[in-house]
Chains A and B, each alone.
Chain A
Amino acid sequence: MKRRGAPPTMRWWAALLAATVAALASCSPAPPTPLAPFATTTRTPTPTPTRLPVVPVEQAIQAHAVDPSLLDMVSKFRAALGHGSLGTPDWSSKHYFVPLPSLA
C-alpha cells in the first residue's frame, strides 16, 4: 500500500492510462449507420401553369351582335384593305350593318 502523498509510481501511471483509454473507448460514437437509399418512388413534379387552350373565335361567338331580321344590308369584309390596296389601312375591314330604314 502506497503511502498518502507519495509520488505516483510508473505502475500507477500505467494503470491510469489504461483506465483512460478504456473509458474513451467506451465513449466512442457508434459506427455510422449506412445512409438510407434514395427513395425509389417517383417524386411528383410541381404542376406548372399551363395556358388555356385557345378557343377558336367561331366557337366563342354564341349570340348575334345584331338581330339579322332587323337589317337591311351588310357590308362585305374588305380583306384587301388590310393590305393597303386602296390606300387605307382598316376602316372597312370590318363589317358594317345598316338597319332597316324604319328602325334607323
Chain B
Amino acid sequence: MLSKISFDENTMTVNFMGDIDHHSSRQIRGEVDKLILEKMPKHLIFDFKEVSFMDSSGIGLIMGRYKLINEYGGGLELLNVSPYLKKVMKIAGLESIVKISNAEQITTSQSEGLN
C-alpha cells in the first residue's frame, strides 16, 4: 500500500491509499511510527479518502498509533471515513475513542470555506 505523509507545524497527516489489510498495515506501521517518534506531532491525522478497503487489521493499525501518540498527549483524528469504513470501525467502538469525520462532513465544511 502506498501512503503519503506530510507535516504542517504541529500536525502530521498520513494519506492512506489502496487497501488496508494485514499485509499492508505491517509495512506502513514501521514507517509511521518512526516519524511519530522523531517529530512527536501534537496532532496526527489519518486521511482515508483514497482507501478502498479495510479489515480489522486497520483497527489494529489505528489503535496502535493512538496509544503511541496518547503517551505524550497528542491527539488522533480520522478524516474522510466512508460509511463502509465506519461500519468496520464501529465494531471496535473506535468512535468513542477518536474523532471521526465522514466524507460528506468534510465536503460541506470545505465548500463553506470557499463561499
A and B physically associate? no
